[in-house]
Amino acid sequence: MEANFDGLVGPTHNYAGLSDGNIASKSNAKDKSHPKAAALQGLSKAKALKDRGFVQGILAPHARPDILMLKRLGFTGSDKQIIEKVAKGHPELLTNCYSSSAMWTANAATVSPSADTYDGRVHFTPANLSNKLHRSIEPELTGRILKQTFRDDKFFHHHSHLPSGLYFGDEGAANHTRFCKDYSEKGVEFFVFGNYSLRQGMPAPKVYPARQSFEASQAVARLHGLDMEKVVFAQQNPDVIDQGVFHNDVISVGNGNVYFYHEQALLDSDAVLSEIAMKLDSQLHSIMVPTKSVSVQDAVSSYLFNSQLLTKNDGKMVIVVPEECRANPAVWSYLTELEKTDKIVNEVLVMDVTESMKNGGGPACLRLRVALTDTELGGVNPQTLLTDSLYTQLTKWVEKHYRDQFLPSDLADPSLIDEVRFALDELTQIMDLGSVYDFQI
Ligand code: SUG
């Protein structure tokens, strides 16, 4: 089966405008956020999908502020004194070390299911997220959270993140798709990159950064021991990166034998699609959305492609889209037609994840896909798998600890450190995460 592990939105969810190239993040910078509503929206999405029979997990949020990062930058004193100094003299560092961006677990790691890997284990490589300061501080803790979640090393193989820096910039599953006939069979792993970091004169975006390099995608495929006859590398169209498509999952999504993509998503789409179909050795059901139906601008503002394509019991698929798709006439008319006419994708399900959308994260950003066998599912920490009881516990926990509203200026409040730590300490008990966080209370 395919399990989806959604990121639990952290208590300091805020809009700091930290992501150049991500239009929503920039345009909502300094707005008031609603951490409690954000976390509850995410949990409701996960619960709704669990109630429909999909396997749903939860990945814990990160501990913020990242005091260790500040200490490595030369700040000294008690944790509260450090925050006071940073708030006074370096407000830009304060927003970075307090970001709750780990909630977008599509960027947590690249995952290869056991059917594809050399040692028959599920492989995880945390993304180094080198392109943005606030995200580059995630991989160590992400690795620890993944180890506490996918525990049994008989089934799970955890790698370290790739070397930091721009040469091996890696953004995880947001730029990785797996096509297959059946989840349990060997599939085709599809890596989409934004640029070549070590080759001169290749196509590259001009306005915004490419976050994923070809060299990084290749390294992850090597680490996971994939059969290169079953791997496809493709370059994202640099022009769409320059229009705000900072990850491939903002312009295309695949599942099973279905690829749902925008006409302008890739360089040389025809060749890429034939390679996927050839390596899949079965029919690829490709749904190309033409620019005349949905412009790149509409795709970016509605997040049509940042949707989840989920296989139902009858083999058909539901597409889970954000509310913003319903509000966009061109996108909604496209989806209404798709639901009526497509042979496989026959249902549209709309979810409210507005708080995440305002930072550029749709339904698909909020989840990490992990295809597992029944036996492997047994090796997952059970307290990370969503049940009615875990949903109730997590909802109560959020209601108890999260603020209703938040402005980036609230990060200067030194008492926030304890507020967050008490909450996370309780969470480690609810989710049985041991000493995954490195703070003391
Ligand atoms: O990395 N936004 C995230 C959104 C990630 C979306 N993920 C996928 N497409 N898979 C990013 O740009 C904004 C944070 C801020 O501005 O406060 C932010 O990090």
The per-residue pLDDT for range 85-128, each reduced to its tens digit, is: 999 999 999 999 999 999 999 999 999 999 999 999 999 999 99
Mutate to test the pocket of ligand 1, among 249, 359, 407 (most ligand atoms within 8 A of CB): 359
- Copy the structure tokens of residue 415: 């008492």
- Asked if 195 and 213 count as a contact pair (C-beta separation under 8 A), the reply is yes
Tell me what pLDDT residue 360 has.
98
Annotated active-site residue 324? The verdict is no
Measured distance CA(191)–CA(236) in Å, rounded: 10
Residue 215 C-alpha to ligand 1 middle, in angstroms?
22
Q: Is the pLDDT confidence value at 440 over 90?
A: no
Tell me what pLDDT residue 439 has.
87
Residues whose CB falls within 8 Å of the CB of residue 371, separated by 6 or more in sequence, listed in order = 1, 2, 3, 111, 113, 115, 122, 178, 180, 183, 184
- Asked if 326 and 281 count as a contact pair (C-beta separation under 8 A), the reply is no
Band of pLDDT at residue 438, cut at 50, 70 and 90: confident
68 phi and psi angles, rounded to 5 deg: -60, -40
Mutate to test the pocket of ligand 1, among 6, 13, 22, 128 (most ligand atoms within 8 A of CB): 22
Percent of the chain with pLDDT over 70: 100
Alpha-carbon torsion, ordered 416, 421, 426, 429, to 10 deg: 160
Tell me what pLDDT residue 333 has.
98
- Asked if 312 and 318 count as a contact pair (C-beta separation under 8 A), the reply is yes
Question: Active-site residue among 62, 157, 365, 401?
Answer: 365
- Copy the structure tokens of residue 285: 């059901």
Residue 360 C-alpha to ligand 1 middle, in angstroms?
5
Which atom of ligand 1 is nearest the CA belonging to 99?
17
- Copy the structure tokens of residue 82: 């450090």
Give the Å distances, CA to CA, from 125 to 90, 110, 135. Answer: 32, 5, 15
Measured distance CA(425)–CA(62) in Å, rounded: 12
CATH topology of domain 2-64+99-430: L-arginine/glycine Amidinotransferase; Chain A (3.75.10)
Residues whose CB falls within 8 Å of the CB of residue 48, separated by 6 or more in sequence, listed in order = 349, 351
Residue 382 C-alpha to ligand 1 middle, in angstroms?
28
Residue 25 C-alpha to ligand 1 middle, in angstroms?
7
Mutate to test the pocket of ligand 1, among 15, 28, 104, 368 (most ligand atoms within 8 A of CB): 104
Mean pLDDT of all residues in 328-357: 98
Residue 359 C-alpha to ligand 1 middle, in angstroms?
6
- Asked if 190 and 116 count as a contact pair (C-beta separation under 8 A), the reply is no
The overall average pLDDT reported for the chain is 97
Helix or strand run (H / E) with residue 68:
helix 67-72
Q: Is the pLDDT confidence value at 166 over 90?
A: no
Backbone region of residue 360 per phi and psi (left: phi > 0; alpha: psi in -120 to 50; beta: other values): left
Q: What is the pLDDT of residues 308-323, one digit of tens each?
A: 999 999 999 999 999 9
Q: Is the pLDDT confidence value at 167 over 90?
A: yes
Band of pLDDT at residue 153, cut at 50, 70 and 90: very high
Greatest alpha-carbon pair distance for the chain in Å reads: 63
Which atom of ligand 1 is nearest the CA belonging to 15?
17
Kindly calculate the radius of gyration of the chain based on its CA atoms and give it in whole angstroms. Answer: 20
Residue 27 C-alpha to ligand 1 middle, in angstroms?
12
Mutate to test the pocket of ligand 1, among 133, 176, 247 (most ligand atoms within 8 A of CB): 247
- Asked if 319 and 290 count as a contact pair (C-beta separation under 8 A), the reply is no
Mean pLDDT of all residues in 364-369: 98
Tell me what pLDDT residue 296 has.
98
Which atom of ligand 1 is nearest the CA belonging to 174?
10
- Asked if 384 and 57 count as a contact pair (C-beta separation under 8 A), the reply is yes
User: Which residue owns the Cα nearest ligand 1 atom 12?
Assistant: 19
User: Which residue owns the Cα nearest ligand 1 atom 19?
Assistant: 101
Band of pLDDT at residue 12, cut at 50, 70 and 90: very high
User: Which residue owns the Cα nearest ligand 1 atom 8?
Assistant: 365
Tell me what pLDDT residue 378 has.
98
- Copy the structure tokens of residue 236: 């994202």
Which atom of ligand 1 is nearest the CA belonging to 306?
9
Task: Please list every protein residue whose CB sits less than 6 Å from any atom of ligand 1.
Answer: 15-19, 22, 25, 99, 101, 104, 106-107, 135, 174, 246-247, 249-250, 359-361, 365
User: Which residue owns the Cα nearest ligand 1 atom 14?
Assistant: 18
Mean pLDDT of all residues in 247-261: 98
Which atom of ligand 1 is nearest the CA belonging to 365?
10
Position with higher pLDDT, 438 vs 292: 292
Residue 132 C-alpha to ligand 1 middle, in angstroms?
9
Which atom of ligand 1 is nearest the CA belonging to 361?
6
Q: Which residues of 337-366 are buried (b: 16+ CB within 10 A; e: fewer)?
A: ebeeebebbbebbbbebebbbbbbbbbbbb
Residue 232 C-alpha to ligand 1 middle, in angstroms?
26
Asked if the peptide bond before residue 65 counts as cis, ω within 30 degrees of 0, the response is yes
Annotated active-site residue 159? The verdict is no
Which atom of ligand 1 is nearest the CA belonging to 26?
16
Question: Active-site residue among 171, 215, 324, 376?
Answer: 171
Tell me what pLDDT residue 142 has.
98
Please choose, from the candidates 43, 149, 146, 42, the residue with its C-alpha nearest in 3D space to the C-alpha of residue 388.
Answer: 43
Annotated active-site residue 171? The verdict is yes
Band of pLDDT at residue 441, cut at 50, 70 and 90: confident
Strand arrangement, sheet containing 55-59: 55-59, 2-7, 367-371
Residue 13 C-alpha to ligand 1 middle, in angstroms?
11
- Asked if 353 and 9 count as a contact pair (C-beta separation under 8 A), the reply is no
